[in-house]
């Protein structure tokens, strides 16, 4: 952050004048003898706050926004992290390949909805979301996840982050909450921002550690049994039952089951969700369309056990639904006409293919000797444990110099542990084409196997 502060002050003092070109990240990193990633983080924050803008193909320029300089302002990349022009193969985990999205079908249905349903389109909808969408979701869960629920138990919301916040309000902020460690960082951040007691749940080879949960005196746990992010562990039935026994052995214990990406399973039979074997209404199921449709849409849902519905409607029923009716109607029709199922099946094939291409390339002869791959059963990324003497920082840096970006596994730990992984990185494959995966793997080889 020192670099960020320095540049920000220089711009505010007009020592760096508006329109002045900043050094390229590579040049600045080299000059200051710091990592490109440090410079990149500083530039990203400056861009997000409007101090600098990026002109694609040209570089970074100091800018301010007091005069509503529309054209320059609007050229700003709308993502928080500017695309690294030196990185050609970004193995990021949250990239959905939007070129695979059936956009013209979605647009056609959107237009239909616009032309037919003007009255419903303008009025407020049911607090839990329009009945038709909840019905489609319930049918999807029944057909694809073996989960039998009523539309009344479903609550649609503008993102999993929002719904998680609602769950915290429902169950109570004073609970001791446990989040998987490692895990999806945002989960930790949401609980941390909304509660006062967040604990790490260590992972073992079977998944979230039931023993540790009991040991910490935790009340509510957030777990990803279908496919752990980022380790890829699939929680087997015996561990699931352990977790349920833990929950049942005391009043007011709950399990939040985040079933994100459960659609993309490549090996073995899908295991039905924890909620489907929960007899005492202690499992809250949550899932999203953000990973299966597109990140711009922000539609997620949770399924509350029947036992919690009354508490939900009486305590939190005053909240209006956060998803626009238009999106809900379009999605409901998209699902009704079978487009969602077809899209999932198509994406599953595409992602499996990409997984195979990357895994194969990395397993080739010399590369395969030094890289151990894990987490291949499901999801959109894999773990690479590299045995070439480099630690994860060097792995990331050398890869970046060769134009490929991978991610330190340690970044997914919100709590430090004594046995932090040292040489494992995360490589997502969902956002890259087959060609890019091959070239990206070659770049990794160049970086790590020389």
Residues 52-81 that bind its own copies (CB under 8 A): 65-66, 68, 70, 73-74, 76, 78-80
Closest contact distance (angstroms) between CB of 326 and its own copies is 7
CB burial class (10 A; 0-12, 13-18, 19+) of residue 48? Answer: middle
Residues in 419-448 that interact with its own copies by CB under 8 A: none
What's the gap between Cα 42 and its chain centre? 23
Structure tokens at 446: 């160049």
Residues in 245-264 that interact with its own copies by CB under 8 A: none
Whether the ω angle into residue 440 lies within 30 degrees of 0, i.e. cis, is: no
Closest contact distance (angstroms) between CB of 426 and its own copies is 18
Closest contact distance (angstroms) between CB of 20 and its own copies is 19
Give the interface size with its own copies as a residue count (CB under 8 A). 77
How far apart CA 144 and CA 138 sit, in angstroms, is 10
Site string (260-289) toward its own copies, x via CB under 8 A = ------------------------------
Closest contact distance (angstroms) between CB of 330 and its own copies is 9
Closest contact distance (angstroms) between CB of 107 and its own copies is 5
Contacts of 128 (CB under 8 A, 6+ apart): 134, 152, 154, 155, 156, 321
Closest contact distance (angstroms) between CB of 152 and its own copies is 4
How far apart CA 178 and CA 198 sit, in angstroms, is 6
Closest contact distance (angstroms) between CB of 33 and its own copies is 26
Q: Which stretch binds its own copies (CB under 8 A): 276-284, 317-325, 353-361, 405-413?
A: 317-325
How far apart CA 75 and CA 96 sit, in angstroms, is 22
Closest contact distance (angstroms) between CB of 75 and its own copies is 9
What's the gap between Cα 107 and its chain centre? 25
Closest contact distance (angstroms) between CB of 431 and its own copies is 11
Q: What φ, ψ does residue 200 adopt, rounded to 5°?
A: -85, 140
How far apart CA 355 and CA 430 sit, in angstroms, is 8
Closest contact distance (angstroms) between CB of 66 and its own copies is 7
Using the rule CB under 8 A, which residue among 294, 308, 350, 397 binds its own copies? 294
Neighbouring C-beta atoms of residue 6, cutoff 10 Å: 11
Residues in 21-50 that interact with its own copies by CB under 8 A: 45, 48-50
Cα radius of gyration (the chain): 23
Helix (H) or strand (E) run with residue 284 in it: strand 283-288
Q: Looking at beta carbons only, is 49 or 369 nearer to its own copies?
A: 49
The one-character DSSP state at 378 is B
Residues in 132-151 that interact with its own copies by CB under 8 A: 132, 135, 138-139, 150-151
Closest contact distance (angstroms) between CB of 293 and its own copies is 8
Q: Looking at beta carbons only, is 86 or 152 nearer to its own copies?
A: 152
Q: Looking at beta carbons only, is 316 or 373 nearer to its own copies?
A: 316
Q: Looking at beta carbons only, is 197 or 446 nearer to its own copies?
A: 197
Using the rule CB under 8 A, which residue among 23, 59, 270, 295 binds its own copies? 295
Beta-bridge partners for 373: 384
Using the rule CB under 8 A, which residue among 20, 86, 120, 356 binds its own copies? 120
Q: Looking at beta carbons only, is 107 or 420 nearer to its own copies?
A: 107
Q: Looking at beta carbons only, is 344 or 370 nearer to its own copies?
A: 344
Using the rule CB under 8 A, which residue among 12, 14, 21, 103 binds its own copies? 103
Q: Looking at beta carbons only, is 48 or 212 nearer to its own copies?
A: 48
For residue 396, CA distances in Å to 94, 221, 352, 393, 416 come to 18, 32, 25, 5, 20
Using the rule CB under 8 A, which residue among 17, 57, 124, 365 binds its own copies? 124
Nearest to 144 by CA among 331, 269, 293, 13: 269
Neighbouring C-beta atoms of residue 381, cutoff 10 Å: 27
Residues in 144-203 that interact with its own copies by CB under 8 A: 150-152, 158-159, 161-162, 165, 169, 173, 185-186, 189-190, 193-194
Q: Looking at beta carbons only, is 162 or 216 nearer to its own copies?
A: 162
Q: Looking at beta carbons only, is 81 or 214 nearer to its own copies?
A: 81
Residues in 318-377 that interact with its own copies by CB under 8 A: 318-327
8 Å CB contact between 428 and 95: yes
The one-character DSSP state at 99 is G
Contacts of 429 (CB under 8 A, 6+ apart): 91, 351, 354, 355, 357, 358, 380, 381, 382, 437
């Amino acid at each position: 952050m020192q670099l960020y502060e320095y540049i920000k002050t220089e711009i505010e003092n007009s020592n760096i004048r508006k329109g002045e070109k900043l050094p390229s990240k590579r040049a600045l990193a080299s000059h200051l003898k710091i990592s490109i990633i440090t410079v990149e983080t500083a530039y990203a924050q400056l861009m997000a706050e409007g101090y600098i803008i990026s002109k694609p193909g040209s570089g970074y320029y100091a800018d301010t926004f007091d005069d509503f300089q529309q054209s320059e302002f609007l050229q700003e990349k709308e993502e928080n992290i500017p695309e690294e022009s030196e990185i050609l193969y970004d193995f990021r985990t949250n990239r959905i390949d939007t070129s695979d999205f059936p956009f013209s079908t979605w647009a056609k249905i959107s237009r239909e909805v616009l032309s037919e349903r003007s009255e419903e389109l303008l009025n407020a909808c049911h607090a839990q979301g329009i009945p038709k969408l909840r019905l489609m979701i319930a049918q999807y869960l029944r057909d694809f996840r073996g989960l039998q629920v009523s539309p009344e138990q479903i609550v649609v919301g503008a993102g999993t982050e929002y719904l998680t916040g609602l769950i915290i309000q429902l169950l109570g902020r004073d609970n001791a909450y446990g989040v998987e460690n490692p895990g999806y960082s945002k989960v930790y951040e949401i609980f941390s921002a909304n509660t006062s007691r967040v604990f790490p749940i260590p992972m073992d080879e079977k998944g979230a550690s039931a023993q540790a949960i009991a040991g910490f005196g935790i009340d509510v746990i957030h777990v990803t049994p279908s496919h752990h992010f980022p380790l890829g562990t699939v929680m087997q039935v015996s561990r699931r039952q352990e977790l349920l026994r833990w929950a049942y052995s005391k009043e007011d214990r709950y399990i939040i089951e985040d079933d994100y990406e459960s659609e993309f399973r490549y090996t073995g039979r899908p295991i039905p969700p924890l909620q489907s074997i929960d007899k005492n209404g202690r499992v809250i199921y949550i899932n999203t369309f953000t990973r299966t449709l597109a990140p711009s849409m922000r539609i997620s849902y949770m399924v509350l056990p029947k036992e919690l519905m009354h508490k939900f409607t009486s305590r939190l029923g005053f909240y209006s639904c956060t998803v626009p009716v238009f999106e809900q109607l379009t999605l409901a029709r998209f699902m009704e006409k079978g487009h969602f199922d077809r899209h999932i099946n198509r994406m599953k094939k595409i992602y499996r293919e990409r997984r195979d291409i990357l895994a194969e390339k990395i397993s080739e002869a010399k590369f395969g000797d030094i890289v151990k791959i894990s987490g291949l059963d499901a999801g959109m990324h894999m773990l690479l444990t590299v045995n070439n003497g480099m630690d994860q920082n060097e792995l990331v840096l050398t890869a970046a110099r060769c134009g490929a970006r991978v991610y330190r596994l340690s970044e997914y730990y919100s709590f430090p542990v004594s046995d932090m992984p040292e040489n494992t990185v995360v490589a997502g494959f969902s956002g890259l084409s087959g060609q890019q995966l091959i070239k990206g793997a070659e770049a990794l080889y160049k970086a790590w196997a020389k």
